[in-house]
Structure 1
Amino acid sequence: MSTSPLLSRRLVLGSALAAPLILRTGAARAQEPVDVELVLAVDVSRSVDEVEQELQFNGYAAAFRDPKLLEGIAGGPLGQIAVTMFTWSDWHIQEMMVPWMKIDGPAAGERFAAAVDAAPRRTWLYTSISGAMDYAANLFGRGYEGTRKVVDISGDGVNNSGRPVADARADALEKGIVLNGLAVLDRTPTPWAAGLPPLDDYYRTEVIGGPGAFLMVAEGFDAFETAVKRKIIREIASAPPPGPLVERAFA
């Protein structure tokens, strides 16, 4: 049976109008629900030497092999989170170390830890916390949809590159992102730190923000692994209990 020209045009038009709806529905289905989307942002500026950088990477790898952390993930409403990790330094230098991964048990935790172990170790110059915030804020919604969106910023210095931290922080908070901090109090004196505010005070007042935001302070790089484990366990809690604004970890 032949189709009239008018009917043909209507069929084509109907198909064209329906296409965007189909594409949007497909895109929505691609976002897998998780309890938390967690971005790990790791400082690799010049104040972090090779030994200290290795302690940082080892700390993150050990955290995702830790049974307590994996139990915390399993205890969430969905029993799974999504995590990605990048390093940062100058305002224009951010390098993806581990792409988004779903963590839903020991095997997935080991895969993430192994990826951290295998990630390249590189050191750059300046410290752009604002650049790290901007980069992290654009990583969400890539395959996962979390009940909460959290950025975990670890570092051992104040912002000295890129736009003001206050501006980047405000933009991230406007997007509903929680900014937590992990300040590492480096016991090795550095000439460029003279006259700067205490790092823990700086992170508390200038960096962290959002509902339930908190600061973990590692008393030296040797305390980094302990600090990371405690911090991530608190971050992935499905209903984070009220806790101190500032916690401290010791080696």
Structure 2
Amino acid sequence: MQVRWGVSTGAILVAGLLTGSGLAGTGGPQEAADKEPAPSVDIELVIAVDVSYSMDLDELAVQREGYAQAIVSKEFLQALRGGPNGKISITYFEWSASSDQKIIIPWRVIDGPETADAVANEIMRTPVRRGSRTSISGAILYAMPLFDENPSRGFRRVIDISGDGPNNNGPPITPVREEALGKGIVINGLPIMVKEPSYPSMDIENLDWYYEDCVIGGPGSFVVAIKDRDTFKEAIRAKLLLEVAGRSPEHRVVPVAEKEPRVSCTIGEKIWQDRWGR
């Protein structure tokens, strides 16, 4: 099941989360093999951040600041304490083309203000970079084996993927998504829609629909669409709060099998082929 949800501000959501946190039934613990120890963290969270050239330098900087500030916020730390273990495991990487991914934060456990500060400072110290093309499929393929490298085990495994355009490089997005879902991984999305679509940037209308129908998936999966530059950081914080608290936005739940994609899941590849013929 997945949740369709889009916001231009996360204020109402943040207020709602502060009334109570904890793991909800939508996420549910993964079935562990008998030989595996009990989960030591509440969630294994991979943050996959788009740094393609369609993102301008200001957006890249605000995106970095948004994640860093969210991780040290009192709301985030309160949600963290509400979990069964009171800690999460997190890794953060940047991506563009199918062969271009760079880990900024290797796996780290966040269990309170000190570890949160350390992760946030590490995010902000890394120089901003950019890359060509947009391969959401490449980012998901890169993220999947990272869970096997994580020394901590969680109740849930989540890929948190942000971007401002559709997949236009690497394998098609839908089979890669299905591969991740088959491994029990949940994919949530943060489509960035603060600019009007333009020819050079390969932006599309209704990027949030594309993310809802082609990118996200798994129990309780959701999209938070950023449609206003002024609420960029707030939306990032709202999404992280939902993920850490193991909750989904209150919205109509639509089984994937009951609908056809409203935006073609190969629209990015088609646009690229039409413009550059390769």
TM norm structure 1: 0.82
What is the CA distance between 1:244 and its match in structure 2? 2.6
Distance 1:79 1:195, change over 3 A: closer
* Paired residues for 1:45-124 under 5 Å: 45-124=52-131
1:93-126 Cα deviation digits (max 9, x unpaired): 0000111110111111101100111122110110
- Percent identity reads 42
User: How many residue pairs were aligned?
Assistant: 218
1:191 and 1:105 map into 2 onto residues whose CA distance is 45
Question: Does the CA contact (< 8 Å) of 2:54 and 2:201 recur in 1?
Answer: no
Q: Over aligned residues, Cα RMSD in angstroms?
A: 2.0
Moved more, 208-217 or 32-41: 32-41
1:132 and 1:176 map into 2 onto residues whose CA distance is 17
1:194 and 1:107 map into 2 onto residues whose CA distance is 41
Which residue identity is paired with 2:192?
A: V
Which residue identity is paired with 1:65?
A: V
Question: Unpaired segments of 5 or more residues in structure 1?
Answer: 1-26, 247-251
**Helix, strand or coil: the match of 2:60?**
helix
What is the CA distance between 1:190 and its match in structure 2? 2.7
Query: Higher relative contact order at CA 8 Å, sep ≥6: structure 1 or structure 2?
Result: 2
1:245 and 1:204 map into 2 onto residues whose CA distance is 13
2:76 and 2:168 map into 1 onto residues whose CA distance is 34
1:208 and 1:195 map into 2 onto residues whose CA distance is 19
1:182 and 1:81 map into 2 onto residues whose CA distance is 20
Question: Does the CA contact (< 8 Å) of 1:91 and 1:161 recur in 2?
Answer: yes
Question: Residue 231 of structure 2 corresponds to which residue in structure 1?
Answer: 223
What is the CA distance between 1:224 and its match in structure 2? 1.7
What is the CA distance between 1:221 and its match in structure 2? 3.6
Question: Residue 157 of structure 1 corresponds to which residue in structure 2?
Answer: 165
Distance 1:179 1:245, change over 3 A: farther
Distance 1:48 1:243, change over 3 A: same
Question: Unpaired segments of 5 or more residues in structure 2?
Answer: 1-34, 254-278
What is the CA distance between 1:220 and its match in structure 2? 3.3
Question: Does the CA contact (< 8 Å) of 1:85 and 1:99 recur in 2?
Answer: yes
What is the CA distance between 1:189 and its match in structure 2? 4.4
Runs of 4+ off more than 6 Å: none
**Helix, strand or coil: the match of 2:245?**
coil
TM norm structure 2: 0.74
* Paired residues for 1:183-194 under 5 Å: 183-192=191-200
Question: Residue 38 of structure 1 corresponds to which residue in structure 2?
Answer: 45
Q: Computing the radius of gyration over CA atoms, which structure comes out larger, 1 or 2? A: 1
The structure with more strand, counted as a fraction of residues? 1
